[in-house]
Every structure is written in structure tokens, then in C-alpha cells.
Structure 1
């Protein structure tokens, strides 16, 4: 199992965060993942990290597919792969209408079909094909007197940058299993893995090109070594409440839908109602304890080893740890211990 580090939405402290990532690399981390959402863009931070690290893989977690043209996405991925010496992984995701329409002013439609087309366009660019594409959602070049097919000027480091698709719904999960090198899950409860994702994964894998290799399954988890304190659990509880209640509107919140599928339908509705009514502390308190524990990784070494084995059993191949310890030295120490415990 690979050990990745899930970064937060760093602001003025990013230089310090990059120093810490370099120490995580020395402690045994294999990958660093930079989020985007509606924060600073992921690309700037990834370019900075490419210069500060030596061997670890880098990934966007995730770049939204609506906010860049497919060709720019391909160019950006090729550029990051170039400056990192072939260490970049393109994490892509549809995000949601609240961010795409509310922050970017772009219509959110056909996420599955658009994802399939963008992946194909990216791979044609990286192979340095003269780019032509006639899809339902993207047409390259556009018809007209001045448009002509082009190919990327530079020679990409690799003709196929690994693509990691973030997905929660059955159709998106099936698509990731079919066409991507990896699937980025969210809030993964290993006890419900087969029931919630099994059919979608089997469907996608049945159409998978063997040339893609085995599907990499990655999952982010808040992490700490030692008995979970109320303060650490509260941080994760608050983030769950934010995603269940605030990362989308009623009837259009993908995290909310996922937790309902896990079996917490009534609890998810209560958290959302409280959050949307402005009662954020009450919403966090209403997140089920069992869900908080199942979607985090905190405990003594023997407990952590059992939890890691459970994740490996259901097919997780990359763990994206978000270290929660109070000090940088403690976080680096915890990452080294986690690396030692991993299967």
C-alpha cells in the first residue's frame, strides 16, 4: 500500500507546508496530493512542490474538469510532469454545481460524459497526435475558416500521465474503474465498501483495458497515532458536517448522498438541516460517532494495523493521510510510524 499525504487548503503558510512535505518524503511518504475546490489553484502549489521534493509522486486532488478546456488540462498535466521529472498524476473531478456554477459561472452538466471525453482528449495530446475530436460535448478544432488541427509543441515526458478520477456516485465510480489509472474515493467506510461500490466497480472493471494496469484505489483519512482525543475527533466531525450539510444544496450534495447509501439516511438529513439553518456546532454534534470513527484513522499501533488491514482487504492501494498531530515534529514522527505499520 502506498502512503500519500493529503494537503489542506494552504494559504499564507504554504512555504512551511512545503517544508513539511519534504520531511514527510524523508519519513517514507510516496505521494503528496494538493486540493483545489475554490481555494488557490492546485497547479501553483504542485509546481512549488516539484522543486522541493525528489522522489515522491505528486497529484492534484482534484482539478475540476469544467474550469479548464480539455486541451489546457492536458497541457498543464504535461507541464507538471515535465517540471517534476515524470512524477505527476492528474487527479480530475467534476466537483459540484455549487462550486462550478456559483464560483466559476460555468454550467454544470453531463459530468460522466464530459469526463470520458476529457480523458480521451488528454491522452491524445500526450501522445502528440494532431488533435481532432468530435464528441457530444467537445469539438476540436471548431469549424471555421481559421481553425486547424494542432499538436502540442513540446514532447511530454510520458505519453500517458496517470489519471485519477474522484468519484462517489455509481456511474462515476464505474467510469473510473473503466478508463482511469486510479479512483479517488472519499469518506470510505470499509465495512460498507462492497455493498456500496462493489457493483459499480465490477461494471467498470469488466470493460477496462488491461493496458491500464490494476486500478489504484486511494482514500483520504484524517490520521493520528495514539488514542483519539475529543479535539482530534471534533476536527473530523466538523469536516464531515461541512460536507454533509454545506458542500451542495438540498437534493444536490454528493457527499450527503454517499453517507445515506452507507446507511445513515436519517442522520444525514438531520446534519444537513442543522447546518443549513446556521447551527453548525449542532450539526457537527449530530454526526454519528460510528461514522466519525469508520472514516478516520486514529489509534495505537495495533489498532492502526488492524484498520490498515481492513482497508487493504477491500482493495485500497493508496492511503492519503492527513496528519492531525499538534506539532510538525509529531506529524512527521506519526507519518514514519504509519509507514512502518502499512501492509
Structure 2
């Protein structure tokens, strides 16, 4: 199992995070990941990190597919890969309807269809074996629909990529999306992953592998696991509860919150429902207080370093290939690298 580092929505605070990233590079952390929602973008952050590091891989967790055409994403990935001498890991995701329609101003559409077509187009461009032509439900290239001039023609990238294949990771939570991820991607970026409950996902992953004749050995499960190290376990849990409450309670409308659904699948339906109701009423403090200790302990690493290292055993015995640490504490990185 490898270790990664998740910077989250770092944006203008990247100067504060840079020493952490450089320390991670020095002690042997395999990858660093930058996120985006509706503020800072991930590409600029990764570009800056690429110039300031030597070996650490550069992952997007995630680039929002509705915010970029597939061709634009492929261009970005190839350019970052070239500038970093082959260190790019391309993490993609749809985001949710609130962001897709409320921020990017495009229809949410058919998520499975859009994802499948998007990944195929990106791979085709990066392979650079032929000019790009694609006729699908969501994407038609060259475009010939309403408003088209009729002058579009198939093109091939003028940039010769460093690699003809850049690993593509997908962020997915729902059963059908997870199955599609196992079918078409090189890796999976789950959040709130519990190594004790991975059987919840195995059926969908294995169905996706079977669909295309894979055995899964070449597939990287790379969850983000948040870390809070300190002597007081309860205080460490409290540091992470607001983030759990934000996702379970506020990341999506009722009926369209994938993180709420996941907490329910884990068996925390009563707590998740109360958290969501309170959060959507604006009672964020009350919602945060109801995040179960057991959920934090399963999906995060909290407490003294000895406790965290002991807990690492469950992750090592799981199907996880890259454990991405969500932390701003540089002192936790080297002990965890050594524990592996």
C-alpha cells in the first residue's frame, strides 16, 4: 500500500501547504492530490506543486468533468504530465447537480453515459493514434448540431505526450457508478471508505471487472482518509466531525446527497438523517455533534500516533492500493511511511 496526501481546496493558501508537500516528497509519500469545487481550481495548484517538487506524483481529486470539455481535460493532463516529466494522475468526477447546474450552468444529464464517453474521448486524445472523431449521446466531435458552422474537422493533438496513457481515476459513490469505474478506469477515488465495510463495494467493483475481463490487480483503490493526531482521541474526533457533517448534511439536496446515502449503507441511517435535517435547517453545530464516533473511527485515523499506526493494519489488509491522507500535520507523514 502506498501513501498519498490530499490538500483539499487549497487555493490561495497553497503557500502554507507547500512546506507540507515538499516534506511529503522528501519522506517518500507517493502522490499529492488537489481538489476543486466552486472556488480554487486544481490545475493551477498542481502546476505550482510540479515546479516545487521532484518525485511526488500529481493527482487531481478531482477535475470536474462538466466544467471542461473532454479535449480541454486531455490537453491539461498532457501538459501537466510533460511539465512534471510523467507524474500526472488524472482524477475525474461529475460533482453533483447543485454544482453542475448551479455553478457551471450545464445540465447534469446522464451521469453514467457522460462519464463513459468522457473517459473514452480523453484516452483517445492522449493515445494520439488518430484524429479525434466521436459520436455519442453527450458528445459529438466534430460538432454538427444546432448552431454548428459545418467547418469542424477531426484533429490530432499537436503536443506529443510524454506518455500515451495517463492513469485515470474516477470519484464515484453509487453502486452503478462504482461498477462503471471498475470497468473503464485505472483507479477509484472514494471518500469515507471503511476497510471493515468494503464488502459493500466489492460486488459492484467485481461486476465491473468481470464486464471487461479484468481481475482487478491493475486497479488502484485510493480513498482519502482524514487524519487528526493528538493525545486526546475525543478532541481529535471533534476536529473531523464538521467535515463529516458538511458532506453528510450539506453536500447535496435531500434525495441527491451521495454521502448521506453512503452513511446509510454503512448502517448509520438514523444519525445521518438527523445530521442532514439539522444541517439543512442551518443548525450546523447540532448536526456536527451527532456524527457518530464509530463512523469517524472507521473512516479516519485519529488519536495518538501509536493508535493511528495500529489502526493502519486494517487498511493494509484491505483492497486499498493508495491511502490518501487528509492532513495538514507534517509530523504524521514519516511515521506512517515507516509503518508501511
Question: TM-score range with shorter-chain normalisation?
Answer: over 0.9
- Unaligned 5+ runs, structure 1: 325-330
CA distance in 2, matches of 1:302, 1:19: 25
Partner of residue 85, structure 2? 85
Partner of residue 4, structure 2? 4
CA distance in 1, matches of 2:217, 2:79: 24
Q: Which one is further off, 126-135 or 216-225?
A: 216-225
**Post-superposition shift, 1:232?**
2.7
Q: Which runs of 4+ in 1 moved over 6 A?
A: none
CA offsets 1:1-46 (integer angstroms, 9 cap, x no match): 1110010322432123123201111122110000011121100001
Partner of residue 109, structure 1? 109
CA distance in 1, matches of 2:303, 2:271: 25
Contact 2:7 2:35 in 1 (8 A): yes
1:334 to 315, 332, 335: 332
CA distance in 2, matches of 1:27, 1:334: 11
CA distance in 2, matches of 1:12, 1:132: 38
SS of equivalent residue, structure 2 residue 15: helix
SS of equivalent residue, structure 1 residue 199: helix
Partner of residue 25, structure 1? 25
TM (norm. structure 2) is 0.94
CA distance in 2, matches of 1:155, 1:204: 32
- Summarize the Cα distance change of 1:83–1:148 in structure 2 as closer, same or farther, 3 Å threshold: same
CA distance in 1, matches of 2:212, 2:317: 21
CA distance in 1, matches of 2:231, 2:212: 41
- Summarize the Cα distance change of 1:213–1:156 in structure 2 as closer, same or farther, 3 Å threshold: farther
Contact 2:11 2:41 in 1 (8 A): no
Partner of residue 160, structure 1? 165
**Post-superposition shift, 1:170?**
0.6
- Unaligned 5+ runs, structure 2: none
Across the aligned residues of Structure 1 and Structure 2, the Cα RMSD in angstroms comes to 1.7
Alignment of 1:289-308 (within 5 A): 289-308=293-312
- Summarize the Cα distance change of 1:201–1:125 in structure 2 as closer, same or farther, 3 Å threshold: same
CA distance in 1, matches of 2:205, 2:275: 29
CA distance in 2, matches of 1:98, 1:334: 35
Partner of residue 240, structure 1? 244
Q: Which one is further off, 294-303 or 248-257?
A: 294-303
SS of equivalent residue, structure 1 residue 101: helix
CA offsets 1:140-186 (integer angstroms, 9 cap, x no match): 00125311111110101110110000111111111111111100111
How many residues align structurally? 335
CA distance in 2, matches of 1:167, 1:125: 23
- Summarize the Cα distance change of 1:300–1:235 in structure 2 as closer, same or farther, 3 Å threshold: closer
- Summarize the Cα distance change of 1:213–1:71 in structure 2 as closer, same or farther, 3 Å threshold: farther
Partner of residue 135, structure 1? 136
Partner of residue 15, structure 2? 15
